Amino acid sequence: MENIREIIGENLASLRKEAKLTQLELAERFNYSDKAVSKWEKGDTIPDIETLYNLCQFYGVTIDYLTHKGAPSDKKEFITRKDSDFSNKILITLLLVMIIWMIATIAFVYTSITLDMGYWQSFIWAVPASCILVLGINRKLFRSSTLSFICESVGIWSLLSSFYFSFSIWSLWPIFLLGIPLQAALGIWYVMNKTKK
């Protein structure tokens, strides 16, 4: 009969990989070393009961999920995570992004009233600000490398556009040439990270 520590270790490893976390990222989240996480996943040791409970809460499973062998599809009754959690994360993200656009709108309306000319560039600056916000949220909630790549790409080009339109110096167009090597480096970084997984 297989050791219970090995079963728990296999399940912890598969849950971590499914969440797209490294051992170090998981260790930092729970204030352990990556060596401790490695020992858990190898079945050398078991986390204490409080840590096991916190891991179950984090992954959206019960303790029974960790102690039973088999594929996730065989243990559906032990999964507590709901699809509504993902929907809520998306709604929270959208609400936070809307705050940025509300600030841009307020800046435009204020400058329209007080200066008799609206600062329409506030809407252009809202794009890179939104990208930075979504990147931060992605790192905490979604951990999607594709979403990171999209936000970083849009962020690069919108930031360059923001500088270009804000300073209204039409001879500043070569600033867009900076985007080419940045985009190329970002694409190479994305491909390298994809091939590691």
Q: Strand, helix or coil at 56?
A: helix
The answer to whether the predicted template modeling score (pTM) of the entire model surpasses 0.75 is no
Please state, in angstroms and rounded to a whole number, the distance separating the CA atoms of residues 122 and 69: 55
Please state, in angstroms and rounded to a whole number, the distance separating the CA atoms of residues 92 and 54: 23
Q: Strand, helix or coil at 79?
A: strand
Can you name the CATH fold of 4-78? 434 Repressor (Amino-terminal Domain) (1.10.260)
pLDDT tens digit sequence for 150-196:
999 999 999 999 989 888 777 888 889 999 999 999 999 988 877 76
Q: Strand, helix or coil at 61?
A: strand
Where along the chain do its domains lie?
4-78, 83-196
Residue 72 token pair: 């996730």
Please state, in angstroms and rounded to a whole number, the distance separating the CA atoms of residues 172 and 157: 14
